[in-house]
Structure 1
Amino acid sequence: MKWLQHFGKREMILAAVVLALTAGLIYYKVQVLGYTMTRLQPEKGYFVRLIMDVEAHGQDVSVKVRLPIQSERQRIRREEQRAEAFHYAITSQREGRWTAETLNGSHRIVYSFFAQTEARKYPLPEGVPIATNVASEFQRYLQPTERIQSDHPEIVAKARELMPPGITLKEAIQNTYNYVRTGLKYLAVRGPTDALSANRLGEASCNGKNRLMVALFRARGIPARMAKGLILRNTRKRTTHAWTEVLVGDTWVPLCPVNGYFAEIPEHYLELAKGDQPAFVHSKHIGFDWEWVIQPQVSQIGQAVQTSVSNPLNILSYWTSLKEFHISLNLIMIILMVPIAATVVSFIRNVVGLVPFGTFMPALVAVSFQETGFWLGSILFFCVVLVSSAVNFSLIRLRLLHIPRLTIVLTFVVMSMFAVSIAGVKSGLSASAGVSLFPMAILTLTSERFTMTTLEDSWIEAIRRVVVTYVVSAACYYVIGMDQVRLVVAAFPELLLANIAINLVLGSWTGMRWTEYWRFRSAVRAHAAPSGAC
């Protein structure tokens, strides 16, 4: 514990008092007042919008849509809809209905929600025979329909070929799944394909494949039904997806022969309906178009703040008042994170011994990386340093005063970043389109330090300092970008007092830095070695 001797006693006592005060505030807040931060936990999911455009000419209009199912596997929250000309209602069967009388012109309906889904696997029992008696509540899942012709001789014959007498239920399900998955070619077609046509043609869409699989199971006395939904990916689409559910005991087991999911349903499948009914039903003689817009998303802290806005202990709840003045929650979070990043710089400078450009330049660069993303920010860091340094060297020959020269360099950086933003928009690269938010002044100052170090010292020292600045910036970015750090600071801003305590301790350090131990390692070893006898 000799290293403790390198810290000031008064500073450590003061730091201990500040830490005790911080712990006391948090304890009182949690244990006495009952404050909790669980609502600030980020939640992964998908933000989904359904956009429907209706064109009518003076008639009554009705639009019915199968809305996502609420279940243990999938949770639907923050449902919203916007349709000024329509009356809206949701039935108990999760069917959304928009109605309007004597509607004229073009109108848009927007329905949106946040979905959280889970992957589920269903182990099939071994050695269980196909049941001969089916409970009355499941009898309807054995009946033929117009498109699921389970009583047709061709379907019945194929079912007995795949599932002969004496076969177990698991083998029957596996054989049928394999036949529909590999025996039928997948064909992306619009319009309905019935089970019989799919079997005869040997090809079908996802609807046709699953109608055939349901028909084969029903023909063999195994209850089965179709399920319809969405495949959740970052995209815009005008299609839904279908799969099969077969009854095993009292559990509906999913099978997707199109995408190869046997007795499992993946996390990115969203269920809209059970059965073979269409996803949309609308009035005749109207123009109707629709599109799903799906975005993978992590719920933002701002949304969590909205849910706990009534809790006066959550300091971020006061952001709802600041919104009126166009102050973003992201700006508040950045302000809260700056002292944390500065502490990382303080530790690396005073204890590790790495010296970057500027006192807190890496902390500010790390904050800027929060806007661009780490890799894009890294590319911009080195590109801006190189470009602005080249401009700096060119201007030095003109013998301009410092401030005007720096202003010219900043202008070049702004023009370059603006060009990158325009290029990003035109090329569809959304990440680079946000480069306009990058704190260009910070990088301009970094390039200025690089140029001056090159002139006053050497190229090697300037490059070394740039690399150190980048490494320290990356460390700061990692720390302040950790979800748990952001959440804890957001829930308990009084932890910034602990940040003060840490710096009280760091500021009293009088020992050697880690890099100095390496630099003077020979002297350190000699000092540590026991002296010989006289």
Structure 2
Amino acid sequence: MRALTLHLKILITILLVLGVSITAYQIFVIGIPVTEDATDDLWNIDAKVEFVANAKDPVKIQMFVPPLNRDYVSLNESFISNNYGVSVNRVDGNRKVTWSARRVSGKQTLYYRLVLTKRYSGDKTKVKGPVFRDSIAVDGPEKIAAEALLAPIRQHSADVETFISETIKRVNNLNDDNVKLLLAGDPSTPHKAQIIELLLSIAHVPMERVHTIRLVADQPQNPELWLRSFNGNDWLYFNPESGEQGLPSDRLLWWIGDEPLVTMDGGKKANVTFSLNNSEMNAIRLAKLTDENTDANFLEYSLYGLPLQTQQTFMIMVMIPIGVLVILVLRNLIGLQTLGTFTPVLIALAFRETQLEFGIILFTVITALGLMLRSYLEHLKLQMLPRLSVVLTFVVILIAAISLFSHKLGLERGLSVALFPMVILTMTIERLSITWEERGGGHAMKVAIGTLFAATLAYLVMSVPELVYFVFTFPAVLLILVAFMLAMGRYRGYRLTELVRFKAFLKADS
């Protein structure tokens, strides 16, 4: 007995840990929203390219577009132009769009439009990058100034991250004579980045320039320069002005390298302006869209990966254990008497079709008439199987009659009674009649009312939209329910109704 108890406790613990772990992983790691009303940001980015084309020359204009390889995923991407050929190519980790035309003249306007959102489950591919680079050749006073700056940087740094951060801070100290010499009167951010790259190259630390767009709605945006270096496992991003590490979450990486955003042949005065706005979309619907556009198919093995009609069926099925749990609590802890455990749950499922009020009336009417027929058949001394057959046939006739009269009276809801489980009603009538014979009419009525009350409560709980969404989205919760049911299976204490019944004994003992 003790071994059995230990086995049960271990089983309950395993189920609890599995259920909680899987659900927590879905919520905190994958990021699946806990409520159906949760929404995610959807960003719309327009890049407007304007230039003046030469009258007699073919035009070829190239522009970097976001690589979208890690944190963001594209839902829609379009290239809007008139009489231009369009091609997109990947080069050195960048994506570049090329517009080309044989004969155009005057002012030209092209559009690049992107709709994107945060990627639900990050790109799981292993990140690669350089961990060593050759030194940039430098001599004369610049070499002496660079070495003078590097000496305290090495002294005040412990690893690659702190070395880069300290280098950026030193270069931004415009009062330092060595910095003044290297900057040569040009303290612009791109020139500072060149000096930072020079110092890092002497220490053989690789560095790349990355250009980002800040995701802020209804504000003009220009590309913002950041620096990054690879530490062997991941890219480290640094602000070239402050040395602050870590790319903010509202930055979208647009392109990498030293090249300008736009290059062109056959034209002049190229200019790019960005406009952004954001909207919201239901998080799960958005997750499905991103799932179709990425390799990280975290919904593929969830119930959302099923066909829509099958999903609707499973939304009902996954709620059956919730209804069973309600009945279990009512019976084992409260002491409510019902016709078994599953009959109230099945009646609750039928209420989904008829709605609660109409379903209670139909259940009461059909059960009452069925009991009257069952009582009459008892006088004929029929065997059980023929008796059940007659009751079932009577239930079908009664359902058909109610549906017909409901239709004639304009009560279309009454047509849903045809979906009421006939076998359930038949067995309910049979079991109630047997209870009546064995325990009396009062007890049979008590059981009937208890069954109806339990079915009503189960229906109300099983119909809570937030609960339906949560269980359907996180089906591992059912493992937690199973653990709770197993724990209740060894409960041998008093029920609430028994405490009321034995209240007099408690007074006598005191």
TM-score bin, normalised by smaller chain: 0.3 to 0.5
Determine which structure has more spread, i.e. the larger CA radius of gyration: 2
Q: Please report the TM-score for the alignment, with normalisation by the length of structure 2.
A: 0.47
